[in-house]
Amino acid sequence: MANTKSAEKAARQSEKHRGRNNAATSQLRTAIRKAVLAIKSGKQDEALAALAAATPVIDSMVNKGLIHRNKAARHKSRLTRQVRALSK
């Protein structure tokens, strides 16, 4: 339990931030999962659409500081490479 007013406020803010971060992280995972499932289905047009939807979500998580920019680049690179492989 917090001992001071400022510690109580920090605890409240921490709860709010944690909730927002969990929701955003879930949104990120969902976008990536949809892209992966579209790639596994083998339909390139669906995979391209899913990749186009996932890319801004991944970028926004970087801007919010939830994931590192290298991790975002890695996700985007791998998904793009898999989508391109469908056309071959």
State pLDDT tens for residues 3-18: 999 999 999 999 999 9
State pLDDT tens for residues 59-70: 999 999 999 999
Indicate the average pLDDT of the chain: 96
Q: What angle do CA 58, 65, 17 make, to 5 degrees?
A: 110
Express as a percent the part of the chain with pLDDT over 90.
Answer: 95
| Residues in CB range of 48: below 8 A, 6 or more apart | 83
Q: What is the pLDDT of residue 88?
A: 74
- In one-letter notation, the amino acid at residue 69 is R
Domains of the chain with bracketed CATH: 5-86 (1.20.58.110)
